[in-house]
């Protein structure tokens, strides 16, 4: 019986060894799958990071452009203010120098011009539309005015 026992023990040992090899192969396969998944996740993360960086760069460039445009507009506004102040100063100098101009500037506007400048306080777009449509409409250029 010892030969049969040895054969059975050998077969059991081979079976256990085969089982261990099979389990080890499953572990290797799982590790390879996990590595492949990790590589794919890393590639996806790098792609997302690249897109995010590109978006950030675009937004930064847009911000720089907007700030430059704002600075240009501020400079233009300052130039316009200086030009306006210079024109107002010139008008005042002309009024002081020319009595005819001073008298003309002191007169009230004609009724038609004053009506053009008069407007009620409007708070909404609807109120503005109603005010526009309620005013006396201007006749077309070819029509003769009513007497």
Q: Describe the crossing of helices 2-97 and 99-106 by its angle, rounded to 10 degrees.
A: 120
Domain positions in the chain are: 19-108
pLDDT digits (tens, 9 = 90+) for 73-124: 999 999 999 999 999 999 888 888 888 877 888 888 888 887 777 777 888 8
pLDDT digits (tens, 9 = 90+) for 5-19: 889 998 999 999 999
> CA 97, CA 101: separation in Å to the nearest integer?
9
> CA 105, CA 124: separation in Å to the nearest integer?
34
């Amino acid at each position: 019986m010892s030969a049969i026992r040895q054969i059975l023990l050998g077969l059991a040992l081979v079976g256990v060894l085969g089982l261990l090899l099979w389990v080890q192969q499953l572990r290797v396969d799982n590790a390879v799958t996990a590595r492949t998944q990790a590589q794919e996740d890393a590639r996806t993360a790098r792609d997302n990071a690249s897109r995010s960086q590109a978006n950030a760069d675009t937004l930064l460039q847009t911000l720089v452009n907007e700030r430059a445009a704002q600075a240009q507009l501020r400079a233009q506004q300052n130039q316009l203010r200086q030009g306006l102040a210079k024109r107002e100063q010139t008008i005042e100098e002309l009024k002081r120098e020319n009595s005819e101009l001073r008298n003309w500037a002191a007169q009230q506007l004609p009724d038609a011009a004053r009506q053009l400048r008069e407007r009620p306080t409007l708070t909404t777009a609807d109120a503005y539309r109603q005010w526009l449509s309620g005013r006396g409409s201007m006749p077309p250029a070819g029509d003769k005015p009513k007497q």
